[in-house]
Structure 1
Amino acid sequence: MVKAVVAGASGGIGQPLSLLLKACPLVDELALYDVVNTPGVAADLSHISTPATVTGYLPENGEGLKKAFTGADIVVIPAGIPRKPGMTRDDLFKINAGIVKGLIEGIAQHCPKAFVLIISNPVNSTVPIAAEVLKRAGVFDPKKLFGVTTLDVVRAETFVAGITGERTPSKLTIPVIGGHSGQTIVPLFSQAQPAVNIPADKYDALVNRVQFGGDEVVKAKDGAGSATLSMAYAGFRFAEKVLKAASGEKGIVEPSYVYLPGVSGGDTIAKATGNDFFSVPIELGPSGAEKAIDVVSKANEQEKKLLEVAYKDLQGNIQKGIDFVHNPPQN
């Protein structure tokens, strides 16, 4: 029996993500948690004729979180707020960092052995926050903590297919590494399988589109939201791969933002990048992240230049997350 939890289930990402998980044959029990509307979302989903049973929980002085998380095998966290007009990135960081910290404390207490998939932005900082909270609680398993960067991979597949004419973008395998914001996102088109030919005059624009695809959606939605549906799809795609690997399926590889020193093969990549947290292709298995695959050393000259920028930006992002736990901001 597999119990999946969506923390932040009532939001723009949480609802479509919950729908996809309800439809997934690998999930037997789906628990939804959020500060508002979860019983209604759960009731709506529970009418869908798939096997998973659905329950929805509100905080209820900590009891709701306890009920939602207890016995969970996988917890996917899209919780948080989008940036609103007049709000600085720092304001956003403090709010979302606090939300993630609270949820991870709940995981440490109620389901410490669960796979934890973090979607909440900024992923570059929220995953280090989660690691520090889990370390403090004495339950940190680096193989089970993932920052979901799959949307960057999905965008790379889609945008490259638009250039090469591939009718099924998901047939392309394109490593997208680094972090999960702006210039920390580095697509390695030179290592695409099958090989792709990106015309030189389209390369820079393609890289920029993968790095800043989120801005494209925000602009198109004209202030009414950000990338919620594509993020829900990407979050589900990664969650499904984790569940398939956990059930024994072999050969599953997908990039994810992980704590490299705790994953086999990760030390070499951490030394090369100067960062303990970094997204690289991860071989998934029953224990989670079983192997980090070194694609960094095979980057071409163009990609190395992009990576140098990513390394530096990531160092600041990671430290910001660690500092948030050890020196919480005063209100």
Structure 2
Amino acid sequence: MVKVVVCGAAGGIGQPLSLLLKQSDLISHLALYDIVNAIGVAADLSHINTASKVTGHVGAGALAEALQGAHTVVIPAGVPRRPGMTRDDLFKVNASIVRDLAQACAEHCPKAFILVISNPVNSTVPIVCEVLKKANVFDPRRVFGVTTLDVVRSSRFVHEVKPQFEPHEIANRITVVGGHSGATIVPILSKINQQPHNQSISFTPEEIKTLTHRIQFGGDEVVKAKDGAGSATLSMAYAGARFTLSLLEASVRGKRGVVESTFVHLPGNPGSEWNQRFTGLDYFAQDVELGPDGVAKVLALPELSTEEQALVKIAINELKGNVTKGVKFITEPQPGAPPAAKL
């Protein structure tokens, strides 16, 4: 049995994410958890004619039941970004939510894969890892920051500029490195025309500059367009489902050669040594080959153009603070910070 748990399943990301996961034959039990409304969402999804069972779990007292026996836990829980907010502004609220969910995972499903969508991912992934370390159940191969939306946006935005680029072809997946906010997002556009079927594609320096900025700050387009009603939910749900299903293809079905960009803890992960030396960081997003135990291999960063090298340097400098903030939230709790919930 493959049980997938969505924590925050009644929210703007959680509902469409759960809908997409319900369609997969890789999942036998879809457990939906939230502080409200998860039972209704589960009842609705349970009418869809696929084989997986759907259960709803509401409130802290129901979290243990939801997590018990989980193969994969996906965490989109938290508050959305509002106009004028950065992802870092979300930290004060979302950090404690993610901490408490990670603690519950450590207690009830310590071997589960944990996929973190809750922003700011650059800080919430270190929070999850530090909680698991304190509980002595940390396996760096099993914790992922879902940065797939940056990859999805890259393919779509490139297609808008170069229509001959097929955005949905898996062979056209664009590597995105760094992190998952603003200047920490670095799309590697210089490698597109090295793919045999894309050799005719070339960019002007201005196109590269414009595309890169749009990919880095694409989330702001959605926040502005929704005019106070939230941030990217549907596209994030699509990206979150894509990563979840890629992981299941590799870990459950045993499919080889499954590669996605994701934000991971480098130390302890196979193949990460070069990236650690290059970045000087413990966390970084790059291409990862997925396997039965999660991370099968962290792929070395591709050769970067001069412009991309400069962008990665900026990303590294910003990521240092993001990561430290997440780590210190667990290792050095601040006075007045919300205590860990009893789950």
Residues 1:86 and 1:190: Cα distance change in structure 2 (over 3 Å): closer
Aligned length: 328
Asked if 2 retains the 8 angstrom alpha-carbon contact of 1:163 and 1:198, the reply is no
**Equivalent runs, 1:34-49 vs 2, <5 Å:** 34-49=34-49
Greater displacement, 76-85 / 131-140 = 76-85
Matched, 1:217 2:222: yes
CA change 1:45–1:317 in 2 (3 A) is: same
Aligned to 1:281: 287
TM-score, length basis structure 1:
0.96
Deviations 1:291-318 (A, max 9, x none): 011125x111010010110000000000
What's the counterpart of residue 129 of structure 2? 131
> Is the 8 Å Cα contact of residues 81 and 223 (structure 2) preserved in structure 1?
no
The one of 201, 204, 212 aligned to 2:209: 204
Are the counterparts in 1 of residues 87 and 120 from structure 2 also a CA contact under 8 Å? no
Work out the CA distance in 2 between the residues paired with 1:269 and 1:237.
25
Aligned to 1:158: 156
1:267 aligns with: 273
CA distance in 1, matches of 2:86, 2:157: 30
Asked whether 1:75 is paired with 2:46, we answer no
1:304 corresponds to:
309
Residue 170 of structure 1 corresponds to 168
Letter in 2 for 1:110: H
Give the match for residue 191 of structure 2: 191
Shift of 1:201: 2.1
Deviation for aligned residue 1:90: 6.0
**Superposition TM-score, scaled by structure 2 size:** 0.93
The letter of the residue matching 1:304 is Q
CA RMSD of aligned residues (A): 1.5
Q: CA deviation at 1:329?
A: 2.7
Q: Secondary structure at the match of 2:212?
A: helix
Distance in 1 of aligned mates of 2:112 and 2:233: 24
Shift in CA distance, 165/83, structure 1 to aligned 2, threshold 3 Å? closer
- Residue type at the aligned position of 2:254: G
- Conserved 8 A contact 1:57-1:64: yes
Change in 2 beyond 3 A, CA 1:122/1:163: same
1-structure distance, mates of 2:22, 2:304: 39
- Which shows bigger deviation, 191-200 or 5-14? 191-200
**Shift, 1:86, TM fit:** 8.3
Q: Secondary structure at the match of 1:281?
A: strand
Deviations 1:240-267 (A, max 9, x none): 0000000200110010000111211112
Match in the other structure for 1:243: 248
Distance 1:88 1:285 in 2: 34
Q: Cα offset for 1:170?
A: 2.1
Q: Distance in 1 between matches of 2:73 and 2:148?
A: 16
Look up the SS of the partner of 1:316 in the other structure.
Answer: helix
> Residues 89, 285 of structure 1: CA spacing in aligned structure 2 closer, same or farther, 3 A cutoff?
closer
| Matching residue of 2:340 | none
